[in-house]
Amino acid sequence: MVDSIRVENVTKTFTRRYQRTLKQITVAKARGQKTMDEFNAVDDVSFTVQQGESIGLMGLNGSGKSTLLKMINGVMRPDSGSILTRGNIAGLIATGAGFHPQLSGRDNLVLNAAILGMSEKETMRKFDAIVDFAGLEDKLDGQVGHYSSGESARLGFSIAIHVDSDIFLADEVLAVGDKPFRAKCLQRMEEIRDSGRTLFYVSHSAGSVKRMCTRVLILEQGKLVFDGKPWKGIKYLGYDDGDLKENPIDLEEEIGADI
Ligand SMILES: Nc1ncnc2c1ncn2[C@@H]1O[C@H](COP(=O)(O)OP(=O)(O)OP(=O)(O)O)[C@@H](O)[C@H]1O
Ligand SMILES: [Mg+2]
């Protein structure tokens, strides 16, 4: 077994500000009130992921999932602790992240692919497949700033899945895509999982996590409170069978969608 991601005692602290303007801050200080404090968005988190595992990262809004993913991806550094990753990392960590709003979809595609480590030759070879998966042929020369959030997510996800990577991170992928596109994304992520790559998938959808992941991690106010089997994690979160069936992005329902 080869370690793919090793997270050791990772903490990320952010500052919470209570006032915005200088006047408000001055008044608050004069009254002896707090103007800011610090909190740990990710709090002493440790875990190891083996190559080929598919991890579902779950937890309530604001529990630190995206922050943790950004640190694994390397766009943010932990304040303490360490993160080691093996191989190339690709994925979508935020809708529209890394896109330049004034450039066209075409230019952003080329730029983003280069940032993710694709050579010019490889990008040209995969160009049509990327555009085809995103379904944005008619929008390709329009500026990305005018894309809807779903369209930006389509382009970002499509580029990311065409990068040869050892680790694939996915956050907010399914949040803005329409139903047929979500189904396509889930299917592609299943293929990524089955190809032996490490999959790290942030989701609020119990159905898709149960179907896709072999292990679930749950964050609660930045702390890792669960690490184990998906069904146990889903139970921990308090989802029951009704939630699984009614969940709007349940995978079985998605795959059955007309795509
Ligand atoms: N740059 C920042 N500065 C200050 N606070 C931040 C910053 N980024 C995130 N936070 C705060 O850190 C906490 C964790 O945010 P994070 O985006 O990691 O949550 P999340 O688990 O991904 O939530 P969601 O399910 O809504 O996507 C939140 O309270 C958020 O407001
Ligand atoms: Mg998030």
What pLDDT, in 10s, does the model give residues 136-164? 999 999 999 999 988 988 899 899 899 99
Give me the mean pLDDT over the 240-248 stretch. 53
Please tell me if the CB atom of residue 66 comes closer than 6 angstroms to any atom of ligand 1.
yes
pLDDT at 13: 96
Q: What is the CATH number of domain 90-165?
A: 1.10.8
Please tell me if the CB atom of residue 70 comes closer than 6 angstroms to any atom of ligand 1.
no
CA of 138 from ligand 2 middle (Å) equals 30
Please tell me if the CB atom of residue 65 comes closer than 6 angstroms to any atom of ligand 1.
yes
- Sign of the C-alpha dihedral computed for residues 97, 100, 106 and 107 taken in this order: negative
CA of 219 from ligand 1 middle (Å) equals 12
Q: Hey, what are 179's tokens?
A: 């139903």
- With a pLDDT cut of 70, the percent of the chain lying above it is 90
**Ligand 2 ion: Cβ-proximal residues, 5 Å cutoff:** 66
Sketch the domain layout of the chain as residue ranges: 1-30+37-87+166-259, 90-165
In angstroms, rounded to a whole number, what is the distance separating the alpha carbons of residues 55 and 229?
Answer: 10
**Does the structure show a pLDDT above 60 at 89?**
yes
pLDDT at 249: 46
Amino acid in position 246 = E
Do 49 and 57 form a contact (C-beta atoms < 8 A)? no
Do 237 and 218 form a contact (C-beta atoms < 8 A)? yes
**pLDDT confidence band for 96 (50 / 70 / 90):** low
Q: Ligand 1, atom 26: nearest CA belongs to which residue?
A: 61
pLDDT at 183: 87
pLDDT at 254: 44
pLDDT at 255: 42
**Does the structure show a pLDDT above 90 at 172?**
no
CA of 45 from ligand 2 middle (Å) equals 17
Cα 121-123-127 angle, rounded to 5 deg: 125
pLDDT tens per residue, range 195-237: 999 999 999 888 889 989 999 999 999 999 999 999 999 999 9
Ligand 1 atom at minimal distance to the Cα of residue 204? 25
User: What is the topology classification, in CATH, of domain 1-30+37-87+166-259?
Assistant: Rossmann fold (3.40.50)
Same fold, 1-30+37-87+166-259 and 90-165: no
Please tell me if the CB atom of residue 208 comes closer than 6 angstroms to any atom of ligand 1.
no
CA distances from 104 to 10, 149, 161 (A): 38, 15, 20
pTM of the model: 0.86
